Every structure is written in structure tokens, then in C-alpha cells.
Amino acid sequence: MNVTIVDYKSGNISSVINSFKEVAKGKVNIDVTSDLNKIETSDKVVLPGQGSFKSCVDALNSINGLVETLNEFAITNKKPLLGICVGLQMFADIGYEETETKGLGWISGKVSKINNQNGKYKLPHIGWNQINIVKDSKIYKDIENNSHMYFVHSYEFLPEDKNLISATTEYSSNIVCSVEKENIFGTQFHPEKSDKIGLQIIENFIKL
């Protein structure tokens, strides 16, 4: 099996690569590339994202044919794709970080700044937070509710269809921390920085 981590130069993804390789234990081939053919022919794709919504979208768009290839992979061919952090946020129609920016439009919704309630909550939201699993999701197999995950973000994804939300976390409000839509999965938290539980999520995705 081939799992491709899309490297589109959106910040440091070494911890994503290392954690996937650790879980794969050499039994699963982990590719790190922006090569369209490799993405197209892989079994699963991981879309990481660090930095702002705009910078990540711009970086995707700067590689000729990449957005079209991802669309074909996830939407047309319905192969499993996992978005992490801004990788999840880009599923939205639109984001408002820096400036209004069009997303991939895979899951209707928008990405807005977390309401910090006049400074009551620090932004960015950094650190460990409990997650509340709200629906039976394949990536939460063998993971207990109220497990702690590691977050770094100032913006939140607000999907129109609340039935696609698989887990939330309490920070200023009830923040979406993961979604699942058929073959498309996304986490706002960083599984690659969430210790053994995060590795379990990665393993669950690889085993889908």
C-alpha cells in the first residue's frame, strides 16, 4: 500500500512524516511528494498544513495541476484523504485569515477566527485539550472519549452540515476538531504531536 504525504512547501512537516513512518514500520510505503502521478496512484493521501489559510491555499495553487489531482483523488475517485490542521480547514468553501480566500470546497462551510471573548481566551489556542467524540468515526477506533490532543490554531472550521462533525473541543466555544465525510477525514488537532493516541489515529487511517 502507498500512502502519500503531499509536500507543497507549507511549513515544516517532518513530524508528520516521522509519525507516519513510525506507524508504517516499513510495511506501508510512505511517499512525501508533490508529484501528481504519485499522488494519483497512491492508495491514501495526507494533506498537512501549517501557517495561514491563505498561504497554504496559495502554495497548493502554485503547483500546476495539484488542486485538480487532489479533487480527482478525493471527490471523483473517493479514495481516503486525511487533512491535518490547515489541511482540514482548506476543505471549506472560504477562509478569512489574512484576506478572504477560496478553499477547496469539499465540505461546505467557512473558516473564521476563534472568538476569544475580548481576550478571555488566548490566541493562538496552543496545547493539549480534551476532545468530545460526537459520532462513530473510523479514525477514532480504540480511542477513548475525552482523550487529549495537541492543538495550535487561531481559526476554526465551521461546516454547514453539523452531521459531518466527528469530534469537538471546548475552547471559548464548542470548536470543531474533526470531520468525516465518506472518504474525507480531517483533524484540527495534530495527531503527529499527540503522543500514542495520535499515533493510533494515524494507524486507524492507514488501516482504513
Active site residue 192: yes
What count of other Cβ atoms lies within 10 Å of the Cβ of residue 63? Answer: 16
Separation CA 186–CA 84 (nearest Å): 6
Strands 173-181 and 155-159: unpaired
Q: Which helix (H) or strand (E) holds 200?
A: helix 195-206
Which of these is catalytic: 153, 156, 180, 190? 190
Strands (E) across the chain are located at 2-6, 29-33, 44-47, 81-84, 94-95, 101-102, 109-113, 125-130, 132-133, 148-153, 155-159, 165-171, 173-181, 184-187
Active site residue 148: no
Which of these is catalytic: 97, 156, 180, 192? 192
Active site residue 180: no
With beta carbons less than 8 A apart as the criterion, state whether 192 and 15 touch.
yes
Integer-rounded Cα radius of gyration of the chain: 16
With beta carbons less than 8 A apart as the criterion, state whether 134 and 151 touch.
no
Separation CA 81–CA 102 (nearest Å): 20
Which of these is catalytic: 56, 85, 125, 156? 85
As annotated, the active-site residues are: 85, 190, 192
